[in-house]
Amino acid sequence: MIVWISGAYGVGKSTLAEALSPKMSGAIIFDAEEVGNAVRGNYPGEPFGAVFEDYPMWGKFCAALIADIHKMYNKDILVPMTLVRKSSQSIIDALNAEGIDARLVILTASRQSIHDRILARGEDEDCWCMENLDMAIEGSEALSGLKISTDGRSPEEIAEEVLYKLKYKQ
């Protein structure tokens, strides 16, 4: 199974992936930002904007690389990466079209909780995440998938809910 974990910056995507991995027989954690850095880094300037999803090749490369890793290692893959464009659900669709069980989990929390978490991880009020927080929250609300609130909950509680609602079987 591929579980793409989306949600606003600071909502707990990476923390959830770390909590889920051992519960999913050591699932691989895939860093879609590295793919984005490679794609963006090879274009002169920023012709498509600052969000990786705006680079047409990013989603295609992510889907192809995730599918290849899944087939090569026959392991579950967790992808903690914010999606803000509804069109990015095509990544999930492409994986499903290849016969891979791919799901989208969208983490939610109050704006204040997210704000506080971003500051707690050492970022400033004027960091990129804070400047684009509304875009990330609104983008997450527009996506279709399993929505899970992280407010006032431990990563373990959230992981158990995700596994239960995805009907994950080892």
Query: Would you give the DSSP letter of residue 54?
Result: G
pLDDT (tens place) for every residue of the chain, 170 residues total: 999 999 999 999 999 999 999 999 999 999 999 999 999 999 998 889 889 999 999 999 999 999 999 999 999 999 999 999 999 999 999 999 999 999 999 999 999 999 999 999 999 999 999 999 999 999 999 999 999 999 999 999 999 999 999 999 87
147: containing domain? 2-30+75-165
The CATH code of the domain that includes 95 is: 3.40.50.300
Number of domains in the chain: 1
Contact criterion met (CB below 8 Å) for 34 and 42: no
Contact criterion met (CB below 8 Å) for 91 and 104: no
Residue 60 lies in a domain: no
Residue 144 lies in a domain: yes
Residue 121 lies in a domain: yes
Q: Which two tokens stand for residue 87?
A: 């069109």
Residue 45 lies in a domain: no
pTM listed for this prediction: 0.96
Q: What is the C-alpha separation between 111 and 11, in angstroms, rounded? A: 9
Residue 97 lies in a domain: yes
pLDDT of residue 123: 95
The answer for 110, left when phi > 0, alpha when psi is -120 to 50, beta otherwise, is beta
Residue 126 lies in a domain: yes
Residue 149 lies in a domain: yes
For Cα atoms 71, 73, 79, give the angle at the middle one, nearest 5 degrees: 80
Residue 55 lies in a domain: no
